[in-house]
Amino acid sequence: MSPQLLVINPNTTALVTDLLARHLGGVLSPAVQVRAVTARFGPPYISDEAGCAVAGHAVLDAWLHALHTDDAAPHAVLIGCFGDPGLLALRESSPVPVSGLAEAAFIEAARLGPFAVVTGGERWGPMLKRLAHTLGFGDALAGVHTVAPTGAQLVADPVGARALLGRACRDARQRWGVPSVIVGGAGLAGMAAKLQAEVDVPLIDSVSAAGHWARRQLGTTACSAPRPSPELLAQLRRASLDL
């Protein structure tokens, strides 16, 4: 059996799910099966604490629904949101490796030293700082530079987004003197590569970083993935939507 990566988009926007699948497909080996699913409820694009809280529930629900509708269990699970809603709960429940766009990008950036983050949506600043501390990257995160438009607004205006995010990356580099800057956001997949010529340090694409994480977990070796215990699945289903 080919290794399978389950990608859960906690946003309810299917276009973002498609973007994640395409971008990850370009990073991973063709032998890896990428199954991307969209949250069945929640915000179209997460931009605040309330949306993130609901998305954490939606991630667990999407994971359970994927297990219920597919005989083949995934070999790794990726939360396709730069904010990783539900990460710790899903990691506790899943018998296979789990990560998210933010954690994968933090791992990649931290190898180069302290790092900064550029993303859309002003409310993400304190949320990402808290997440970095929770995941053990609090000392490595030099700062978060948010731009006013949300991720959804940036996706809707790619030309304006490129100019705005380019300035933000240069500002972050100058302000914190970091050796790398993360361009974070599911909808911003591919943006770092477009901006790289404008910034004199590596720009880390959060979706590409997640693909690198998955590649390390999966390799290309055929294997069978373990499934959660029936007791755990029953417990989670009682707290989720009817399947």
Please state the length of the chain.
243
Residue-wise pLDDT for 50-75, tens only, equals 999 999 999 999 999 999 887 778 99
With respect to residue 55, please indicate whether it lies within any of the assigned structural domains.
yes
Residue-wise pLDDT for 88-123, tens only, equals 999 999 999 999 999 999 999 999 999 999 999 999
pTM, rounded to two decimals: 0.91
In this structure, the answer to whether residues 215 and 230 fall within a common structural domain is yes
In this structure, the answer to whether residues 190 and 154 fall within a common structural domain is yes
In this structure, the answer to whether residues 172 and 228 fall within a common structural domain is no
In this structure, the answer to whether residues 166 and 113 fall within a common structural domain is yes
- 82's enclosing H/E stretch is none
With respect to residue 203, please indicate whether it lies within any of the assigned structural domains.
yes
Domain containing 36 equals 4-100+211-238
Phi, psi of 160 (to 5 degrees): -65, -35
In this structure, the answer to whether residues 54 and 71 fall within a common structural domain is yes
With respect to residue 243, please indicate whether it lies within any of the assigned structural domains.
no
In this structure, the answer to whether residues 12 and 25 fall within a common structural domain is yes
Q: What single DSSP character describes residue 170?
A: H
